[in-house]
């Protein structure tokens, strides 16, 4: 899966930070093939955060000896319990993740007593699961926090990636393996990334055309993006039993080379049944009756921050615009939040849910008493 998904972001990004709080009670186990971790503060406030991580190419496992990621430090400091499923499948496993996490939630309630409140939180692919959950289970969850989350329909996200790969293949034929279907043994390793980077460097004008069209990557990040798209395609093709992606009806614009690109790019058409599967997992309804706060880094090359506006429009059409707020941090990269930024976002969600204090769209507010200079790209 793409490089930002392969790293288990929610668990490892901030491993260098110290976590010196009183150690919570931790339960490690397995439910129906999915590993899980439960952390409960000694003075638990009877509230629970259900966390959805992003995709992973290998099964997620937990160990009691491993410290909890500092990104969760503030959640426990505020006396919330935290539960996480590792999912029983890898890749774009929304179906399994949804069932596994609900099973874990019920297990927690059965073993610890019915909590007073559930909140849902997730990163990357976990953002899609956050939106699905808060839309479909408003009777269970009081509010939601999406961090660098996939909030636009998944077929929109992956169609853009597919079109990028096809455009790269037009400018640099023979560098990538076939991507309909992607070979089963394809690996987006350092060797493949270096091969793509070398090709891009050999034709600077073509690289600039790709950067202009794609819009959210840099010369540094583009090789990783392209390499990892094929891992995504392979996973989706396997899950959907066909190719769910295509560029047959796409007109490329803003590349600076539109006429030549549109005339020469190879056209692919998605398999109807496979495309229907991808739309099922997932397309948001916008039926948002509980608060959802989304925070993005504006320099995200993989889950573009602008995609959250698609969700805002969906919620607006459904009559629930007031229950969605999008904020940003001025960072480059995917899911590069600092622990204090996650804490500030979480506090805003709690204030919104408990006191009706709706966050202000725009930049993530600085800590109280701290003034910041706005950064633009």
More confident residue, 56 or 120: 120
Q: With pLDDT > 90 as the criterion, what percentage of the chain qualifies? A: 89
Res 371: pLDDT: 54
Q: State the CB neighbour count (10 A cutoff) for residue 331.
A: 18
pLDDT of residue 215 exceeding 90, the answer is yes
Res 370: pLDDT: 60
Average pLDDT value for residue range 280-284:
98
Res 21: pLDDT: 47
Is 55:93 a contact under the CB 8 Å cutoff? yes
The predicted-structure confidence for 250-266, as pLDDT tens digits, reads as follows 999 999 999 999 999 99
In sequence order, the 6+-apart residues with CB closer than 8 A to the CB of 166 are 247, 265, 266, 267, 268
Average pLDDT value for residue range 118-122:
98
Average pLDDT value for residue range 252-281:
98
Cα→Cα distances 312→116, 178, 298, 341, 356, Å: 29, 36, 16, 22, 19
Rounded CA separation 130/249 (Å): 31
Res 286: pLDDT: 98
Place 101 in a pLDDT band, splitting at 50, 70 and 90: very high
pLDDT of residue 372 exceeding 70, the answer is no
Place 64 in a pLDDT band, splitting at 50, 70 and 90: confident
* Strand ranges of the sheet holding 81-85, from the earlier edge strand across to the other edge: 25-31, 34-40, 81-85, 47-52, 117-123, 141-147, 292-299, 324-332, 362-363
Angle of helix 272-280 relative to helix 154-171, nearest 10 degrees, comes to 130
Res 219: pLDDT: 97
Rounded CA separation 110/371 (Å): 46
The predicted-structure confidence for 334-343, as pLDDT tens digits, reads as follows 999 999 999 9
Res 134: pLDDT: 98
The predicted-structure confidence for 12-61, as pLDDT tens digits, reads as follows 433 333 344 467 899 999 999 999 999 999 999 999 999 999 999 888 99
Domains and CATH numbers, the chain: 3-152+284-363 (3.40.50.1820), 154-279 (no CATH)
Res 24: pLDDT: 85
Q: Which of 216, 6, 184 is nearest to 92 (CA)?
A: 6
Q: What is the phi/psi pair of residue 118, to 5°?
A: -120, 135
Cα→Cα distances 336→214, 299, 304, 318, Å: 20, 10, 13, 31
pLDDT of residue 226 exceeding 60, the answer is yes
The predicted-structure confidence for 287-326, as pLDDT tens digits, reads as follows 999 999 999 999 999 999 999 999 999 999 999 999 999 9
Average pLDDT value for residue range 67-79:
96
Bridge partner list, 302: none
Is 235:277 a contact under the CB 8 Å cutoff? no
Average pLDDT, the chain: 92
pLDDT of residue 4 exceeding 60, the answer is no
Rounded CA separation 253/246 (Å): 16
Rounded CA separation 148/122 (Å): 9
Res 374: pLDDT: 37
């Amino acid at each position: 899966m793409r490089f930002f998904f392969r790293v288990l972001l929610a668990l490892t990004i901030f491993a260098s930070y110290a976590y010196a709080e009183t150690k919570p009670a931790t339960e490690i186990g397995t439910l129906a093939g999915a590993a899980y971790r439960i952390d409960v503060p000694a003075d638990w406030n009877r509230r629970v955060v259900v966390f959805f991580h992003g995709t992973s190419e290998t099964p997620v496992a937990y160990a009691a000896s491993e410290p909890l990621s500092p990104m969760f430090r503030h959640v426990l400091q505020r006396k919330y319990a935290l539960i996480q499923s590792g999912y029983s499948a890898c890749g774009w496993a929304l179906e399994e993740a949804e069932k596994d996490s609900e099973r874990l939630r019920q297990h927690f309630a059965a073993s610890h007593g019915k909590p007073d409140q559930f909140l849902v939180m997730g990163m990357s692919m976990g953002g899609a699961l956050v939106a699905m959950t808060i839309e479909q289970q408003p009777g269970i969850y009081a509010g939601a926090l999406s961090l660098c989350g996939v909030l636009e329909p998944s077929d929109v996200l992956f169609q853009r990636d597919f079109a990028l790969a096809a455009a790269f293949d037009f400018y640099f034929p023979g560098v990538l393996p076939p991507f309909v279907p992607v070979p089963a043994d394809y690996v987006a390793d350092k060797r493949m990334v270096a091969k793509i980077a070398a090709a891009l460097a050999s034709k600077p004008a073509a690289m600039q055309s790709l950067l202009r069209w794609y819009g959210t990557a840099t010369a540094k990040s583009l090789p990783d993006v392209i390499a990892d798209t094929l891992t995504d395609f392979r996973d989706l093709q396997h899950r959907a039993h066909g190719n769910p992606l295509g560029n047959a009806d796409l007109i490329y614009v803003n590349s600076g080379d539109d006429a030549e690109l549109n005339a020469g790019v190879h056209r692919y058409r998605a398999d109807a049944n496979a495309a229907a599967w991808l739309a099922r997992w997932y397309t948001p309804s916008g039926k948002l009756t509980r608060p959802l706060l989304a925070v993005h880094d504006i320099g995200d090359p993989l889950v573009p921050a602008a995609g959250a506006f698609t969700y805002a429009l969906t919620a607006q059409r459904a009559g629930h615009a007031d229950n969605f707020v999008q904020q940003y941090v001025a960072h480059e990269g995917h899911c590069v939040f600092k622990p204090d930024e996650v804490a500030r976002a979480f506090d805003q969600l709690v204030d919104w849910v408990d006191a009706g204090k709706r966050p202000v769209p725009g930049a993530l507010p600085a800590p109280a008493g701290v003034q910041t200079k706005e950064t633009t790209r």
